[in-house]
Amino acid sequence: MPERIIVTGGAGFIGRAVTGELLRRGHEVRVLDSLIDQVHGGGVPADFPAEAELIRGDVRDRDVVARALDGVDAVIHLAAEVGVGQSMYAVERYTSVNELGTAVLFERLIERPVRRVVTASSMSIYGEGLYLDADGRPVEDAERRPRVSAAEGWDPLDRQGRPLRPVPTPEWKRPSLASIYALGKYAQERQTLIMTGAYGMEGVCLRLFNVYGPGQALSNPYTGVLAIFASRLLNGQRPMIFEDGEQRRDFVYVGDVARAFADALEKPETNGEVFNIGSGRDRSVSEVARELALAMGRNDVEPEIVGKSRVGDIRHCFCDGGKAADRLGFTARKDFREGLAELAEWVAAQTAHDRVDEARAELEARGLVA
């Protein structure tokens, strides 16, 4: 049945895809977005769906949030500052937007309750993903020891110094919050499930893995890694990869993610649950950089391997999507190379400011790169 739905952060990369999916399903959509310069350059994106109502405002503004919630049936909460590295020095800003902004939203929802709230969480809350030790036992609290020489490896070891093997990370793996961004996303999760349960609403949280596709913020050096690589390649630069490039991630197409959010609004049996949303396929970061270069016609370009790590980064984390498949009915559909081709075609028509060196300098100046 069609509803009126508000999407906070709905003018962002994922938000526009979610808004479009909801409109295609016959819903009426209102978007609340602050249109910050770092993401949007201060303006409304050219591909913002014309059928959606846009309210420009900050999720921390109680009056704006109250107006945005008037007459809505459900909420998809995407509004957040995004980026692990930047969160480690812009601490007040990230904490304010992500945690206080969510608190303001729920205080207003006490007065104007809705049927359901679906909140975007992140795989970053896991810290390191799940591993198995040499005896096949699961390890939920893997940590990397500081490297004291270039000869040492990057991968976590067990307490006996034996290699650990990364495996898909399920929702039951306990959080290990390695950045201010991760802390804020976990707080958004808990606020959602606590407040919806207390005030007679339904709540669902989706832990997103690495989302990619057309529409990414190419000039934001703290956004998704594929957007950063695309910006470098578009400006004739080599993709810059920290560590040795063999860290493994799960890349999921934005259209699949939009479908997951729309589905999460509709299934009563998912109330109170948290779901991983990924492709179910892991890839090394260096492999992904080369695949994107090929898709963009730059197959002569090799990534720049930095050989240093950033505070807050993790080694391996990729998605166990079994719960989402069983309970939410979600599996990713988009072939990775097909998705890269669509991203490359879109990027070719864009202009991007490559700010990666600037962002790296910010981190190094604060001792966050080693």
Q: How many domains does the chain have?
A: 2
Query: In this model, does residue 357 exceed pLDDT 70?
Result: no
Query: In this model, does residue 31 exceed pLDDT 90?
Result: yes
Residues 263 and 160 in one domain: no
Query: In this model, does residue 324 exceed pLDDT 80?
Result: yes
The pLDDT of residue 128 is 96
Residue with tokens 């503004």: 61
Q: Which residues pair with 275 in a beta bridge?
A: 206
Active site residue 186: no
Per DSSP, 88 falls in state: T
| Three-point CA angle 101, 106, 109, nearest 5° | 130
Catalytic residue among 94, 126, 131, 181: 181
Q: The pTM is what?
A: 0.94
Residues 195 and 306 in one domain: yes
Q: 211: helix, coil or strand?
A: strand
- 150-154, 217-221, 233-237, 361-365 — which is least confidently predicted? 361-365
Residues 160 and 219 in one domain: no
Measured in whole angstroms, the distance separating CA 164 from the mean position of its chain's CA atoms is: 26
Q: Which residues pair with 274 in a beta bridge?
A: 205
Query: In this model, does residue 38 exceed pLDDT 80?
Result: no
Domain of 24 in residue numbering reads as: 4-130+167-365
Q: Give start and end residues of each alpha helix (H) in 158-224.
A: 180-198
Q: Which two tokens stand for residue 23?
A: 């409109």
Residues 181 and 318 in one domain: yes
Q: Which two tokens stand for residue 314?
A: 């993790």
Mean pLDDT score, 355-370: 61
User: Is position 370 within any domain?
Assistant: no
CATH, residue 33: 3.40.50.720
The pLDDT of residue 370 is 56
Residues 63 and 183 in one domain: yes
Residue among 16, 113, 20, 121 nearest 74 (CA): 113
Q: 286: helix, coil or strand?
A: helix
- The predicted-structure confidence for 110-125, as pLDDT tens digits, reads as follows 999 999 999 999 999 9
Residues 237 and 320 in one domain: yes
Phi-psi region for residue 26, left (φ > 0), alpha (ψ -120 to 50) or beta? left
- 24-28, 34-38, 258-262, 291-295 — which is least confidently predicted? 34-38
- The predicted-structure confidence for 131-189, as pLDDT tens digits, reads as follows 999 999 999 999 887 777 777 889 999 888 899 999 999 999 999 998 999 999 999 99
How would DSSP label each residue in 284-348? Answer: EHHHHHHHHHHHTT-TTPPPEE----BTT--SB--B--HHIIIII-----S-HHHHHHHHHHHHT
| Three-point CA angle 7, 10, 12, nearest 5° | 155
